[in-house]
Amino acid sequence: MNKSMIGLLTAILAVSSLMSCKNSSQEQPVKKVVIYGTISNYEQDTLFMDDYTSNYKYLEANTHKIPLNKNNEFSYTFTLEEPRYFKISRTYLYLSPGDSLEMKLDTGSRADAIFKGQGADANNYLRSLPYPKGGSFFGELRDRDLKLKSKEEMVGTFKPILDEKLTQVQELTNVSNTFKELETARLYLEYANTLESSGYLYYSDYYQKKITEDEMNAKIADAETYLTPYIVETYKKIDYNNVDYLQFEVFQGSIFTLNNDEYITKNNLTPLNNELKDYIRASNLKYAFTRQGYTKEFLDYYNEEIVKIKEKKYIGSLTKELDKYKLLKPGSPAPQITFTNLKGEEIPLSTFHGKVVVIDLWATWCGPCMVEKPYYEALVEKYKDNDNIVLLAVSIDTHKVWTNYFTKEKEKGIQLHINRSDLAAYQIYSIPRFFVIDKDQNIVDVYAPLPSTGKLEEMFKEIL
């Protein structure tokens, strides 16, 4: 073969190789998601987007922190391997690799959100999702000006709403079949949750003292007996052993109902599979983390339950959680944080070195916090002249809400503010939370008892 022929073949092979690489590159799916837009009625400089699929399905906390400019505008790009559900404030999102989505969000209502671009149809649909903790379809009564007086009316009232919503899902365009299948299952779960929420029929009469608590409970039990066949019929319409449903808030309640062996046998339902049973054990352990922290009692419970879990993904998730909570065990150095006072001055936790520090973590929107407030303020008053201790009231409200609160309310003790995002090391999942930190800035307990029990005072008195 002469040199010119060899040269020609080499060139052809090179071009062929380049074309092959190009085609291979073109076939790779785009795994980036771009979201941009604005958010109204929001007063922080960072937007928090919770990965619901990660948080619920995989039990791994994952929150995207999205910077906002002074006009509450944002633009954010991230990698996504699979379609997932997310949540920003009250707004649910369904994002898929390749989406490029313009958003106009409002923290006051997800129904007012507007989406445009690739992925818009699925997200515009999600604006109409009911609130599971509010009894799901019960919110439709108000929106549709419907009245409901008895358990017998529940099926006749809510079943047409379910059918209407099922049709709406099937008529969606520019969404995947997977999305339709998931949202269809969600609607059945919401409907079952609605029928399981018959107590809403009687709460008003109870609070208005028209019926006693015993009478209310008897009515609820009677309604449950009547509605159970309809609930069971609904569960039979879906494969509730599908772990993808774990992404739904409403399914978190359903799996505990379906994990009752007596309920399953009596109603001829399929038992939960082993993966979901493992999920329930893991979920219970994770909840215990958030309530108890790294204590001997918790560790005894953890060691007893972890050996029962076989799914490696849940074991891995719990191991990561345990490592985070180890940092909060009694005797560990308290993670350093910085507060702001009403004058706008920064106050580091280290300012109080040499004193026992007690912290009440609260917010104006937190009902239980406001219940505990008088008890804590009584301790503030009692120990105000004791130089060995300082009691701080630390709000996680928005700064504007916090400062406005004290234009109407009198300051009692030391009032400070902190953004919730700055408390990440303390694993804050709910409030009220009370901290006790010793004079050397070591943790005594960051899951300290409520002041109303009297045990909080007992705890800090031991180290004064």
User: Which are the catalytic amino acids?
Assistant: 366, 369
Euclidean distance between CA atoms 396 and 184, whole angstroms: 37
Euclidean distance between CA atoms 92 and 125, whole angstroms: 10
Contact 299, 438 (CB under 8 A): no
Return phi, psi of residue 402, to 5°: -65, -50
Sign of the Cα pseudo-torsion (289, 290, 293, 294, in order) = positive
* Other CB atoms within 10 Å distance of the CB of residue 208: 8
Euclidean distance between CA atoms 363 and 345, whole angstroms: 20
**For residue 430, which of 298, 326, 293 has the smallest C-alpha distance?**
293
**For residue 273, which of 248, 254, 300, 255 has the smallest C-alpha distance?**
255
Euclidean distance between CA atoms 113 and 123, whole angstroms: 9
Q: Order across the sheet with 114-118: list the strands.
A: 73-79, 32-40, 100-106, 114-118
Cα Dmax for the chain: 105
Q: How many residues are given for the chain? A: 464
Euclidean distance between CA atoms 254 and 47, whole angstroms: 30
